[in-house]
Structure 1
Amino acid sequence: MKPDITISYCPKCGWLLRAAYMAQELLTTFEEDLGGITLRPAAINGSYQILLDGEVIFDRKREGRFPEIKELKQIVRDRVNPGKSLGHADRKPDDSAPAQP
């Protein structure tokens, strides 16, 4: 059975569009790996959590910020399909490039 993601967001904070964007990005990247994504209005003001099969994989309050989409894709990939390439989202800065003045 494929894992499911739930994005719990604070509707009073206006975070539905952010949650929908992240859901769309994850579904596009992991269409073969996920069973689905649920958007759930949170009962707690200021809450924004991302859960994978009920386990919190990102909590805005704990981290003090929202996840970057690249970071979120890496977290999900590491749990649902560790061998999957994320293309440019996997690339690290080129250390051999000359430093900019």
Structure 2
Amino acid sequence: MEQKEEPDVTIEYCNKCGYLEKYQELLEYLQQEHPSVKVKGHEGRRGSFEVTVNGETVHSKLSTLAYPDYEDLSKIIKDVQSGKSTRKCKEQPITSCSLS
């Protein structure tokens, strides 16, 4: 049986915006769900929280203004492990802003 390569997961986050904590939260979640997957993170552009799987952007906070849905991201990683292609990740609901 052919063994699949583990997906390459990279997370770019804006530390100036306070997203380091959110990166660490997602990293811990992914390590629990996918212990063999290596997740790389790095400080990036202002306002960013971008997630790529095998070089394909699956989530962009710069585009959506939301964080990725962790369970859906986990499903994308499982799909890639089974040989499927990547897709866009669902977003977490935005609950921290109000319009007046």
TM over 0.5: yes
Instruction: Give the aligned residue type for 2:32.
Output: T
- Select 2:39's aligned residue among 37, 51, 57: 37
Distance 1:13 1:40 in 2: 14
Please list every run of 5 or more consecutive structure 2 residues that lacks an aligned counterpart in the other structure: 84-100
SS at match of 1:6: strand
Count matched residues: 79
Partner of 2:92: none
Report whether the alignment pairs 1:13 with 2:14: no
RMSD, aligned CA: 1.7
Distance 1:22 1:11 in 2: 15
Q: Which has the larger radius of gyration?
A: 1
Please list every run of 5 or more consecutive structure 1 residues that lacks an aligned counterpart in the other structure: 83-101
Please report the TM-score for the alignment, with normalisation by the length of structure 2.
0.69
Please report the TM-score for the alignment, with normalisation by the length of structure 1.
0.68
Instruction: Give the aligned residue type for 2:40.
Output: T
Runs of 4+ in 1 over 6 A off after TM superposition: none
- Asked if the contact 2:7–2:80 (Cα under 8 Å) also holds between the matched residues in 1, the reply is no
